[in-house]
Amino acid sequence: MANTALITGASSGIGLELAKIHAEREGNLVLVARNIQKLNELKQEFEAKFDISVCVIQKDLSDSNSAVEVYNELKSNDIQIDFLFNNAGFGWNAPFSLTDFKILDEMVELNVNTLTKLCRLFLPDMLARNSGKILNTASIAAFAPMPYMAVYGATKAYVLSLSDALHSETKNTDVSVTAVCPGPTQSNFMSFSTMEFSPMIKGKKLPSAHIVALRAYNAMLKGKRAIIPFLSNKLMVCAIKFFPKYLTVNIVEKLLGTSKN
């Protein structure tokens, strides 16, 4: 399988749209998610529509061994990964003090540890070939603490920081690492995290996952360090950088509608 992209969280949202974009450009796919029925449906659809090869891997990426298992399975099948899209992740909207340990563990494992391990596993192969690209999905949440989504915001800050560092480490090669920092987007994430009821989201028309994915994909191809899709999100991030931290946290809390006062 040449020109192959590995996409985590590939069964819906931005991950699914990244898969479609890559397939439209005649790229082969390795799709990783928990829903094997959905993955098999996508495999049939993409192979018929785009005349490409699609490999599906059912995996719970919140499992600590999942990254190594995915890597070893691909190695054993002699599948080279040219593009790595670390897209899988989830958030949780609740007071930190009341959040179940299992949720915290799974969030950190998926959003941080698995992403880190996948980068560490596939980056050496890319550097050895002097060819390859990594796209990590962060968030505008990476730029400010998020009361009542404290761990989610912290994990995305980690993803952005890691991606920035790896982009610098690979700057003298033909390998690049890009972070995409979307704002609120039409996806299952909104309902799963209950953010759809926040003042920042409720009643507003959100950008489609396809537009976000397309802009991220093109930024990755250009080897950009990071991309913040849409002017409104860029302005928000710029404002965050100039506001005192205490004020930023208060504003974020009100925008999310999570204040308990």
Distance CA 99, CA 92 (A): 8
pLDDT at 192: 47
Answer for the pair 175, 123: CB distance below 8 angstroms, yes or no: yes
Say which residue, 239 or 98, is predicted with more confidence. Answer: 98
**Residue 158 falls in the annotated catalytic set:** no
User: Which pLDDT tens digit goes with each residue over 107-164?
Assistant: 999 999 999 999 999 999 999 999 999 999 999 999 988 999 999 999 999 999 999 9
Distance CA 39, CA 32 (A): 8
pLDDT at 127: 98
Strand order in the sheet with 83-86: 54-58, 28-33, 4-8, 83-86, 132-137, 175-180, 226-227
Choice among 71, 152, 158, 217 that is catalytic:
152
User: Which pLDDT tens digit goes with each residue over 97-118?
Assistant: 999 999 999 999 999 999 999 9
| Ordered structural domains, the chain, with CATH | 4-256 (3.40.50.720)
Q: How far is CA 174 from CA 5, 153, 155, 163, 225, in A?
A: 17, 31, 28, 16, 14
User: Which pLDDT tens digit goes with each residue over 12-34?
Assistant: 999 999 999 999 999 999 999 99
Distance CA 18, CA 74 (A): 20
pLDDT of 259 > 50? The answer is no
Token reading at 108:
């950190």
Distance CA 246, CA 237 (A): 15
User: Which pLDDT tens digit goes with each residue over 30-86?
Assistant: 999 999 999 999 999 999 999 999 999 999 999 999 999 999 999 999 999 999 999
Which residues on adjacent β-strands are paired with residue 136?
Answer: 86, 179
pLDDT of 171 > 80? The answer is yes
Nearest 5°: phi and psi at 29? -130, 145
